[in-house]
Amino acid sequence: MKRVVSKEMYRVAQNLIPGGVNSPVRTFRAVDDFPAFIERGKGSCIWDVDGNKYIDYIMSWGAVVLGHAHDEVVDSVCEAARKGFGFGTATQGESVLAERILSAFPAMDLLRFVSSGTEACMTAIRLARGYTKRDKLIKFTGNYHGHSDSLLVAAGSGLATLSIPSSTGVPQSFIENTLVAPFNNLNYVKELFQQHKGQIAAIIVEPFVGNAGFIRPNKGFLEGLRELCTDHGALLIFDEVMTGFRLCWGGAQTLLNIAPDLTTLGKVIGGGLPIAALGGKGEIMSHLAPLGSVYQAGTLSGNPIAVASGIKTLEILGKEDSYAKLSQITQKLLNGILEAASQNGIKVQADGEGGMFGIFFAQEHVESFEDAKRSDLEMFKAFFKGVFNRGVYWAPSLFEAGFLSLAHSDADIVKTVQVIHDVFREMKQ
């Protein structure tokens, strides 16, 4: 596939924007390539500036769950835009979207809209600290909760992709209260609670990890975290920025019937426009200003255009068979990958839930970031290059999940599986 115009645009961008991109994973550096500059998207596909067409398995990192430029969502966004881009004050749409989200999350009484997942997680941590009057926080290796200072420790996503263990520019004093445990290791967390008795404000966790590839929680792990938090008076925060409305109607907490104290959401709730939220029990949420003394604010919070996109997206997604369809199409893809791998003697782990999935070229079962790092990066690079050059747009990092949408068709999956089969055959040689 020729990417001549993209290459030139990338050259220009690098003189204007650090690394030529506005979010590091997008450089494709981890797969020894450069980005395709995208011109447009429709349904399951995107087209680059050279006219190449790709079946998209990134879907704006999971946000565009209905497919690109869904006609009804576009109409809602245009209608909202014609009324004004934002007013910096209350609009009715915010309550409509809040009501729709709250009805899907029984553990939430109230929610506050912000503009990004980073803000949602940063605010959730501040709220947990303000509420418990404790400072320490437990996070898991390979989990990524945005780029606020205290959470940039042993993080997944771009940091893992670029092998940056922890960001420079974060003073040691900002992270000395961040304790780190391996995902799926409950005993390790128990030990932390013993060592730091009465000091831990919260655990923050991606219930299904999407920022270290896709990693499923072992049975009992999240339930164990719930119990530990309850026993020790700490708050359990589920970061469902990726998993919210993606695994099922609700989130991982609905699927597993676990009630976290706080939840962060993003991506799907804006249908591709920038909006995120944090929510939880009224007793905790009422500590946020103006009701309480934990401060948070934002000019673009609850932006009416993003809200309109979110309302329409959830309205369409709420139809009866949406998640059955998402799961069925994801399973079809995963089965196809496993079959192509077995036919070509390639060892691959492929797993997914709802419309989210991931693969690892690993000998052993991957259940933590540490396991993911031991999987075969060279195999992944060869796989990525093979599919990308054949028109399948895959996350350019071992440490990112993949996403499908309601616009992906059986024909898309058949075509993708055929491509993967050809790539595996080539990799075997």
Q: Does 61 contact ligand HOZ by CB under 6 A?
A: yes
Separation CA 316–CA 323 (nearest Å): 11
Q: Which of 48, 56, 239, 371 is catalytic?
A: 239
Short-list 111, 54, 57, 136, CA closest to 244:
111
CB of 247 to ligand HOZ, least distance (A): 16
Which residue has tokens 């989990």?
Answer: 143
Residue 419's CB is within 10 A of a number of other CB atoms, namely: 19
Stretch that binds ligand HOZ, among 21-29, 283-291, 347-355, 403-411 (CB under 6 A): 21-29
Among 150, 211, 330, 349, binds ligand HOZ (CB under 6 A): 211
As given in the structure block, the two tokens for residue 247 are 């695994």
Which string of x and - marks every residue 356-395 that binds ligand HOZ (by CB under 6 A)? ----------------------------------------
CB of 58 to ligand HOZ, least distance (A): 8
Residue closer to ligand HOZ, measured from CB, 61 or 208: 61
Q: Does 141 contact ligand HOZ by CB under 6 A?
A: no
CB of 160 to ligand HOZ, least distance (A): 10
CB of 299 to ligand HOZ, least distance (A): 22
Q: Which amino acid is at 174?
A: F
Q: Does 157 contact ligand HOZ by CB under 6 A?
A: yes
Q: Does 118 contact ligand HOZ by CB under 6 A?
A: no
CB of 161 to ligand HOZ, least distance (A): 9
Alpha helical stretches, state H, 37-91: 71-82
Residue closer to ligand HOZ, measured from CB, 61 or 360: 61
Those residues whose C-beta lies under 8 Å from the C-beta of residue 158, and which sit 6 or more positions away, are 23, 24, 25, 144, 164, 397
Q: Are strands 110-114 and 276-280 parallel, antiparallel or unpaired?
A: antiparallel
Separation CA 398–CA 384 (nearest Å): 9
Which residue pairs, CB below 8 angstroms and at least 24 apart, start in 293-297? 293/130, 294/123, 294/126, 294/127, 294/130, 294/131, 295/126, 296/112, 296/114, 296/119, 296/123, 296/126, 296/127
Q: Which of 56, 57, 131, 267 is catalytic?
A: 267
Which residue has tokens 């991982």?
Answer: 252
Separation CA 415–CA 412 (nearest Å): 5
Q: Does 351 contact ligand HOZ by CB under 6 A?
A: no
Residue closer to ligand HOZ, measured from CB, 211 or 303: 211
- Three-point CA angle 234, 237, 238, nearest 5°: 150
Q: Which of 144, 312, 351, 393 is catalytic?
A: 144
Which residue number places its CB atom closest to ligand HOZ?
23
Q: Which amino acid is at 320?
A: E
For this structure, is 190 an active site residue?
Answer: no
Q: Does 23 contact ligand HOZ by CB under 6 A?
A: yes
For this structure, is 376 an active site residue?
Answer: no
Residue closer to ligand HOZ, measured from CB, 26 or 347: 26
As given in the structure block, the two tokens for residue 111 are 């929610």
CA distances to 80, 145, 250, 308 from 74, in Å? 10, 29, 24, 10
Q: Does 25 contact ligand HOZ by CB under 6 A?
A: yes
Contact between 230 and 164 under an 8 Å Cβ cutoff? The reply is no
Number of residues that bind ligand HOZ (CB under 6 A): 7
Assign 3-state DSSP to the chain and report helix, strand, coil percentages, each to 5: 45, 15, 40
For this structure, is 239 an active site residue?
Answer: yes
Q: Of 400-429, which residues contact ligand HOZ (CB under 6 A)?
A: 400
CB of 397 to ligand HOZ, least distance (A): 8
| Contacting residues toward ligand HOZ, per CB under 6 A | 23, 25-26, 61, 157, 211, 400
The catalytic site residues sit at: 144, 239, 267
